[in-house]
Amino acid sequence: MQVSVENVSGLERRLKISVPATQVEQAVSKKINQTARTIKIDGFRPGKVPLNIVKQRYGASIRAEALDDIIRDSYVAAVEQSQLKVAGYPNIEPISFAEGKDVEFAAVVEVYPEVTVADFASLTVERPSSEVTDADVTKMIENLRRQRAKWEDSSEAAAEQDRLVIDFEGSVAGETFEGGTAKDFSITIGANRMIPGFEEQLVGTKTGDETTITVTFPADYQAANLAGKEAQFKIAVKKVTKAVLPELDAQFLEAFGVKDGNVEQFQSDVRKNMERELRNGVRAKVKGAVFEALVAANQIDLPKALVADEIGRQRQQAIQQFGGKAANIKAEMLPDELFAENSRRSVALGLLVSDIIVKNELKLDAERVRSFVEEIAQSYEQPAEVVQWYYSNKQQMAQIESAVLEDQVVDLILAKAQITDKAVSYEELLRPQQ
């Protein structure tokens, strides 16, 4: 077999491969013999069909199968011989498949880029620092009580966190618009479900009130015909309900695993859970900041095949996240552009992290993996059983091991990077990104 490699452009390589005719004919003959032993033809006993009849009837298809095998095997051998790190599948170009002659074809492939990671000392990373305060614990317990609140009708003026039932009719320049009218609509003041200014103007209203409020749709509002426009909403308040929070009694505490009614134990448990969330939140923020700095400081060529694969993965992930709502959504309905930027970043980050692991000879820290699993298990009633379950689940462990190895890369970078510590509150650090 003869192989030549041509640099096409960027990361593309064109392998021209030639396989001797004798090798091809041997492969075809072998397949004909194999077929003759298994094929059934009327008038002949199994395994006794003459080779010339097999060749006459099935020669073309047998040769095609043999050529497929030859192309596959010789391509793999050519890649190994050329010592190429191939990304994705090849595009095969036939050159000469004539019977009795050498088989020639070309395989156009992409290769992985050469990666040279910038000096970690050039990276600037902002690292959040935070702690759980008594006020944070009190607020968390308040939220837990509010989640189990009973709602009672009230004749008092509506206030923050009250729940209202309203009818509303919206208009812009005196004209109603689609989606701007609703009956018996439930709204909680402060939940921020509505456009800015809507909920705030309901504060002070009472059951039976009718009022008109004025708001401005955000400039980036999804309905282009409303974006940036001022609107009026006629509102009829049909009901105001206020939350009656449960007491911190034995019944309430038992729902959270505190069976002896000890309020101090409950507060301690809440604090521990919050501190665990805080540690995870800090780790996630730091990892995100480090990886953003890493990608920004290292511009590398990306194999199109890897980006395309990542786009496909993210597209399927998006459909799965829609859940039942995605019943009528087909993959092709979500264009590549929706995922292209994140996919390029993901591929670039993967190449950079892999290069750092290899060149720094990082090995997975088994003790750190164990600590990671035990940290997860602490939020369950039977931590030991959870740890055992993780260690018996190869897929879950693979994900955890990958995360731990990434954490080791982060630590390696942080040891040399320029770090700025920023104090933030518990609430700010764990607030979902908009």
Relative orientation angle of helices 337-359 and 304-322, to the nearest 10 degrees: 120
Portion of the chain with pLDDT greater than 70, in percent = 97
pLDDT band, residue 297 (cuts 50/70/90): very high
User: Does this model's pTM top 0.85?
Assistant: no
Handedness of CA 193, 194, 199, 205 (dihedral sign): negative
Q: Indicate if the pLDDT at residue 434 is higher than 50.
A: no
Q: Among 48-62, 115-129, 155-169, 235-249, whose mean pLDDT is lowest?
A: 48-62
DSSP assignment of 394-413, as one string? HHHHHHHHHHHHHHHHHHHH
pLDDT in tens, 361-384: 999 999 999 999 999 998 888 999
pLDDT in tens, 42-90: 777 677 677 777 677 777 888 888 899 999 999 999 999 999 999 989 9
pLDDT of residue 323: 63
- The candidate with the shortest Cα–Cα distance to 219, out of 229, 231, 211, is 229
Q: Give the architecture (CATH level 2) of 120-132+275-430.
A: Orthogonal Bundle (1.10)
Whether the CB-CB separation of 232 and 170 falls below 8 Å is answered with yes
pLDDT of residue 409: 97
pLDDT in tens, 174-229: 999 998 999 999 999 998 899 999 999 999 999 999 999 999 999 999 888 999 99
Give me the residue spans of the domains in the chain. 2-111, 120-132+275-430, 150-244
Q: Indicate if the pLDDT at residue 241 is higher than 50.
A: yes
Q: Among 135-144, 231-240, 273-282, 316-325, whose mean pLDDT is lowest?
A: 316-325
Say what the alpha-carbon torsion angle 47, 48, 51, 54 is, to the nearest 10 degrees. -70
Does the domain made of 150-244 have the CATH classification 3.10.50.40?
Answer: yes
pLDDT (average), residues 225-239: 96
Q: What is the mean pLDDT of the chain?
A: 91
Residues 24 and 55: their CA atoms lie apart, in Å, by: 15
Q: For 2-111, which CATH class? A: alpha beta
pLDDT (average), residues 256-283: 92
Residues 62 and 31: their CA atoms lie apart, in Å, by: 7
Q: Which residue type does 370 have?
A: R
Per the document, the length of the chain is 434
pLDDT (average), residues 98-114: 92
pLDDT: which is higher, 32 or 142: 142
pLDDT of residue 87: 93
φ, ψ at 48 (rounded to 5°): -115, 15
**Which residues are CB-neighbours of 243 under 8 A, at least 6 positions away?**
146, 149, 150, 151, 161, 162, 163
pLDDT in tens, 7-23: 998 899 999 999 999 99
Please, what's the b/e burial string for 302-341 (b: 16 or more CB within 10 A of its CB; e: otherwise)? bbebbbebbbeebbeeebeeeeeeeeeeeeeebeeeebee
